[in-house]
Amino acid sequence: MLGYLKVFWEQFNWSGLLSALQRVLGVLLCLTVHETCHGLTAYAMGDPTAKKMRRLSFNPLHHIDWLGLFSMLACGFGWAKPVPVDMRYFKRPKLGMAATALAGPASNFLLALLMLFLAHVIAVCAPASPGAFVLWLFSFLLTTALLSIGLGLFNLVPIPPLDGSKVLFALLPERAYLTLMRYERFGMALLLLLVWLDVGGQYLSDAIYFVYQWMAGLFF
């Protein structure tokens, strides 16, 4: 029995497990920051709904939709629990909704910059022969930066219920805006269909890597 355990231990794919752990932690961080910043922005503009529902938290368990998390890990497309927002609290409802929506992608871009900065610090300060943990942490920071940029850009696509649609809808007349917001839940079916058919996927991938290379160029 001990011999079998020894063989299992020696042949186990630890590198694959550590890579998967990087991705899981990175996705959790990106989604949590994204949703929390939605709630914080709404709260700053007068809407206490997210606070009452304990969504102004950096605890990922308050935000994670497990199906959406699995989908993002497996397919590169996923979602968290939407932060509840009551636009009636905003002095200018459409503007408040647009600002709340933009806060999510903006937070992802700022998170990506922070991750790349920390990776730069490690690259500068690490010894000539860094240990396994330092290398793993460096890779985690770069991976999370890429994931965060991807989440931010994807959410700027102007298809409901993504954040970009709320910004675009804010430019519409009041009646058209309220009508589209009422039916935005049907946009998820369209979104899933487009993702399944990979419509525009290559353009999004190119945009993600372009932004990633530009941001990385600021530090490396």
- DSSP one-letter string for 104-125: HHHHHHHHHHHHHHHHHHHHHH
**122 confidence band (pLDDT: 50, 70, 90):** very high
The residues assigned a catalytic role are 35
pLDDT digits over 28-83, tens only?
A: 999 999 999 999 999 999 999 999 998 998 888 888 888 777 776 666 666 788 89
Q: Report if residue 9 sits inside a domain.
A: no
Mean pLDDT of the region 4-31: 70
Write down the pLDDT at residue 26: 92
**Structural domain range at position 164:** 21-217
Write down the pLDDT at residue 198: 75
Residue 191 confidence (pLDDT) above 80? no
Whether 143 contacts 137, CB under 8 Å: no
- Tell me how many domains the chain contains: 1
User: Is 0.75 topped by the overall pTM?
Assistant: yes
Computed over every residue of the chain, the mean pLDDT equals 84
Q: Report if residue 187 sits inside a domain.
A: yes
**4 confidence band (pLDDT: 50, 70, 90):** very low
**15 confidence band (pLDDT: 50, 70, 90):** low
Q: Report if residue 16 sits inside a domain.
A: no
Query: Cα-Cα-Cα-Cα dihedral of 140, 142, 15, 63, to 10°?
Result: 50
Write down the pLDDT at residue 5: 46
Alpha-carbon span 60 to 39, nearest angstrom = 14
Q: Report if residue 71 sits inside a domain.
A: yes
Work out the angle at residue 43's Cα, subtended by the Cα atoms of residues 99 and 118, and round it to the nearest 5 degrees. 70
Whether 148 contacts 115, CB under 8 Å: yes
